[in-house]
């Protein structure tokens, strides 16, 4: 029998998460690039319930806003001040009844938690299938764990059927020895659930309405209660504190990295490679040690990233390489190279076979195919054509203290080393600028712009002004040892020649 579409899925996220000791609600803490709640919603969404309900209370506005951001159709249900998972589900169902109108809910209702990030959609689909094939009133995901402390324990009757769940705090020593735990993830028959919740009390160690009581009540009402035991205990692991946050985050990452390796990505050091859920990689990508691929980063076939590189929301083209750099919101073309030690900020676009070398910062800069910014430069608010070369230590001076301005550099232009390009300014196609120039005016195509002080040599200055110094002695040796000075070439000619050499360098 094929399982049907669940009538509803409820994600419980009302708890306070005190042990996080955080100003941020627990379910908004993130692993693998998205919140615990977003992970929970993604798993639930994939089994396609007719209604998705998120139960909130603690920091309700922030949690509700985040839930709706992830899942626009989600029904947000407020839990009142009656505590417990049973009450949370009851409030969820009441909110759903209000949105749906009078017709009673029919079919399967899934209940999951907002703080269980490793739960997969496949496990939920298996749960629904097992529940519906068995025709059960309740099916609960259980697992055998080495240390069951704190969890509800699964009670079984003489025939091995699930008789109920006892909370750790209510359990006697014999029950506490049981290692099969309640994950807190369930499939319920909707009618059974609604009916049983109406009879759940608060007579227990915590004075809460326990959802777990529904299992006993369902059985008493003549339904069958089944356990869907899973071996992968991680999928049931909730996050209660920051130690568990790190543990589950590391495990989720380990799983993601392993998936990418199986899909054809070489990961040299899985332990130092972090890949967010939203990142995508193609085959024959190589990730060297110490790489973080964050957000919606994509890396195309044959590209190499790392070592020690962080990319957030970047697009790395086929065969490109990024070495020891940090980039956010950058797009790198096929065969482009970046690094080592560069910082690419949002709006950086590097064309095919382009190069951003070492110690370069870029922002809002479109750099054409084959163009190079090899060393020690800042390129902000710029558009650089194809095949251009930006000399070492060039600064695109984009900010006048009030406004940002753009610089345009044409195709095959060559900006001399240590140039300041004071925006707004345009360097024409094929134009050159002399090293050390401060360019404040547009440079026509094909021109050479020289904008720097002329050199003056004060002959003999060191021997006169620094007598007895090592420099003076060296100068003296040079003077005495040198025969007659040859005449220097005409200054203008020499300068032109220097510029030519610099631009060619």
Residues annotated catalytic, as ranges: 375
Stretch that binds ligand UD1, among 113-121, 126-134, 245-253, 311-319 (CB under 6 A): 113-121
351 counts as binding Ca ion under rule CB under 5 A = no
Nearer to ligand UD1, 63 or 392 (CB): 63
Segment (H or E) for 38: helix 36-45
Stretch that binds ligand UD1, among 108-116, 249-257, 306-314, 351-359 (CB under 6 A): 108-116
How many CA atoms lie within 13 Å of 395's alpha carbon, on the beta-carbon side? Answer: 9
55 counts as binding ligand UD1 under rule CB under 6 A = yes
230 counts as binding ligand UD1 under rule CB under 6 A = no
CB of 165 vs ligand UD1, minimal distance in Å: 5
**DSSP assigned state of 441:** S
Question: How far apart are the C-alpha atoms of 61 and 276, rounded to whole Å?
Answer: 26
* Distance between start and end Cα atoms, the chain: 74
Angle CA 309–315–321, to nearest 5: 50
Q: How far is CA 8 from the centre of its chain?
A: 30
127 counts as binding ligand UD1 under rule CB under 6 A = no
Angle CA 239–274–269, to nearest 5: 125
Buried/exposed code over 114-141 (b: 16+ C-beta within 10 A; e: otherwise): bbbbbbbeebbbbbbbbbbeeebbbbbb
Quickly tell me which residue has 């909110």 as its tokens: 95
Region 203-242 residues binding Ca ion, contact defined as CB under 5 A: 238
Which option in Ca ion, ligand UD1, none does residue 210 bind, with CB closer than 5 to 8 A by kind? ligand UD1
Query: How big is the site for Ca ion, counted in residues (CB under 5 A)?
Result: 1
**DSSP assigned state of 399:** B
Q: Work out which of 113, 188, 234, 396 binds ligand UD1, going by CB under 6 A.
A: 113
182 counts as binding ligand UD1 under rule CB under 6 A = yes
Asked if residues 9 and 193 have their Cβ atoms less than 8 Å apart, the reply is no
Stretch that binds ligand UD1, among 110-118, 375-383, 405-413, 441-449 (CB under 6 A): 110-118
17 counts as binding Ca ion under rule CB under 5 A = no
Q: What is the DSSP string of 133-161?
A: HHT-SEEEEEEE-S--TTSPEEEE-TTS-
165 counts as binding ligand UD1 under rule CB under 6 A = yes
84 counts as binding ligand UD1 under rule CB under 6 A = yes
- The β-bridge partners of 427 are 409, 443
Asked if residues 252 and 235 have their Cβ atoms less than 8 Å apart, the reply is no
Nearer to Ca ion, 36 or 367 (CB): 36
How many CA atoms lie within 13 Å of 307's alpha carbon, on the beta-carbon side? Answer: 7
Q: Work out which of 59, 71, 132, 167 binds ligand UD1, going by CB under 6 A.
A: 167
Q: Work out which of 7, 10, 12, 267 binds ligand UD1, going by CB under 6 A.
A: 12
CB of 45 vs ligand UD1, minimal distance in Å: 17
Task: Name the residues that contact ligand UD1, by CB under 6 A.
Answer: 12-15, 55, 79, 83-85, 87-88, 113-115, 151-152, 165, 167, 181-184, 210-212, 238
């Amino acid at each position: 029998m094929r399982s049907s579409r669940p009538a509803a899925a409820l994600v419980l996220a009302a708890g306070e998460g005190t042990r996080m000791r955080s100003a941020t609600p627990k379910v908004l803490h993130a692993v693998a690039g998205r919140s615990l709640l977003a992970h929970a919603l993604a798993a639930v969404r994939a089994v396609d319930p007719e209604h998705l309900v998120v139960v909130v209370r603690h920091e309700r506005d922030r949690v509700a806003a985040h839930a709706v951001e992830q899942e626009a159709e989600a029904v947000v249900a407020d839990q009142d001040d009656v505590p417990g998972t049973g009450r949370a589900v009851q409030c969820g169902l009441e909110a759903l009844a209000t949105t749906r109108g009078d017709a009673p809910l029919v079919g399967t209702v899934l209940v999951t938690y907002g703080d269980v990030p490793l739960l997969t959609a496949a496990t939920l689909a298996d749960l629904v299938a097992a529940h519906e094939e068995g025709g059960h009133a309740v099916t609960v995901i259980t697992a055998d764990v080495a240390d069951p402390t704190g969890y509800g324990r699964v009670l079984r009757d003489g025939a091995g059927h699930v008789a109920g769940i006892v909370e750790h705090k209510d359990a006697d020593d014999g029950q506490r020895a049981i290692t099969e735990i309640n994950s807190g993830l369930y499939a319920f028959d909707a009618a059974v659930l609604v009916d049983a919740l109406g009879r759940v009390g608060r007579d227990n160690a915590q004075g809460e309405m326990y959802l777990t009581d529904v299992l006993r009540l369902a059985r008493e009402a003549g339904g069958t209660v089944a356990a869907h035991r899973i071996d992968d205990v991680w999928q049931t692991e909730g996050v209660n504190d920051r130690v568990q946050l790190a543990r589950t985050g590391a495990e989720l990452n380990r799983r993601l990295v392993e998936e990418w390796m199986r899909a054809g990505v070489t990961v040299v050091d899985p332990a130092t490679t972090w890949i967010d859920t939203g990142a995508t990689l193609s085959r024959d990508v190589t990730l060297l040690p110490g790489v973080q691929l964050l957000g919606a980063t994509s890396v195309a076939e044959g590209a190499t990233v790392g070592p020690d590189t962080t990319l957030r929301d970047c697009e790395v083209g086929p065969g490109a390489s990024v070495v020891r750099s940090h980039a956010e919101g950058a797009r790198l073309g096929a065969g482009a190279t970046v690094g080592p030690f560069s910082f690419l900020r949002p709006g950086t676009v590097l064309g095919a076979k382009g190069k951003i070398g070492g110690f370069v910062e870029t922002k809002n800069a479109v750099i054409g195919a084959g163009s190079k910014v090899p060393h020690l430069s800042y390129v902000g608010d710029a558009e650089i054509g194809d095949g251009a070369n930006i000399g070492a230590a060039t600064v695109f001076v984009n900010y006048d203290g009030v406004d940002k301005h753009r610089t345009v550099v044409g195709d095959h232009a060559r900006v001399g080393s240590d140039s300041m390009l004071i925006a707004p300014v345009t360097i024409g196609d094929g134009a050159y600028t002399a090293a050390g120039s401060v360019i404040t005016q547009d440079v026509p195509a094909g021109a050479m712009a020289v904008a720097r002080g002329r050199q003056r040599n004060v002959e003999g200055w060191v021997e006169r002004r620094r007598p007895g110094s090592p420099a003076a002695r060296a100068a003296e040796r040079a003077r005495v040892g040198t025969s007659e000075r040859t005449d220097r070439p005409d200054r203008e000619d020499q300068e032109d020649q220097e510029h030519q050499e610099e631009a060619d360098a």
